[in-house]
Chain A
């Protein structure tokens, strides 16, 4: 799986959009970008995934650059419950097991 680089921590004001960046410059054509988050002392939770196109679901939006070397997870209206570690993971189609990087610790401030 391609290596990902994320900032170690970010702050966001409650009610504002949280934009979490991820670099994956060595991504190959058959690798998907996945985002998971882990709220303190809980199991990781799936957020969203994509290959080339931007994706949106009820939790977040995923913006992937045209060259696929980076992506941004957008939480449109962050709440205190969104405080968590967010993991960006690049994974080949044939292997569903996850290799977690160090992630970004997002702190939503009131």
Chain B
């Protein structure tokens, strides 16, 4: 199984809502990532988890709260988002957070904030 799955595929939420994005991999990878991609722009790194611990936070606002409950799962909790947070949210994983090798990306969750 060389797949990263993300749910939901699409999400529409209001600015006062609380929602969560979910990412799952069963490749035994110990590093997982969240990226954000605005329309017609490249992906931008948000967070890196290494061995279930947060290792990189790219100065992301606190309305985005990541969580890594176990080595296969990565969540992104959303609260009080703004319309400008509308984007494609991509999850990725790799064997470790360092060294050489590829990252495997999921298909993304397309988020619209009204």
A-B pairs under 8 A by CB, number: 60
* Interface presence of A101 (CB below 8 A): yes
Chain B count of residues within 8 A CB distance of the other chain = 28
B32 CB to closest chain A CB (Å) equals 11
Which B residues touch A41, using CB under 8 A? 88, 108, 110
Interface-side segment among A17-25, A60-68, A89-97:
A89-97
Shortest Cβ distance from B4 into A: residue: A43
A87 touching B48 in the complex, CB below 8 Å, given contacts A45-B105, A93-B98, A96-B103: no
Chain B positions 9 through 39: 1 when the CB is less than 8 Å from some CB of chain A, otherwise 0: 0000000000000000000000101010000
Query: Is A49 touching B98 in the complex (CB atoms < 8 A)?
Result: no
Most B C-beta atoms less than 10 A away, residue of A43, A95, A103: A43
Check A100–B43 contact: CB distance below 8 A.
Answer: yes
Task: Establish whether residues A97 and B107, one from each chain, have CB atoms under 8 Å apart when the complex forms.
Answer: no
- The one of B31, B97, B106 that contacts A43, using a Cβ cutoff of 8 Å: B106
Q: Do B103 and A98 touch (CB < 8 A)? A: yes
Interface of A: prevailing SS = loop
Give complex CA distance A17, B101 in Å.
26
B74 within 8 A of A: no
Cross-chain contact of B45 among A43, A46, A99 (Cβ < 8 A) = A99
Q: Which residue from chain B places its CB closest to the CB of A92 in the assembled complex?
A: B98
Q: Which residues from chain A contact B90 at a C-beta distance below 8 Å?
A: 43-44
Query: Given contacts A87-B42, A97-B33, are A43 and B98 in contact (CB under 8 A)?
Result: no
Q: What are some 13 contacts across the A-B interface (CB < 8 A)?
A: A38-B43, A43-B92, A43-B107, A44-B43, A44-B90, A87-B42, A94-B98, A96-B94, A96-B101, A97-B56, A98-B103, A100-B43, A100-B44
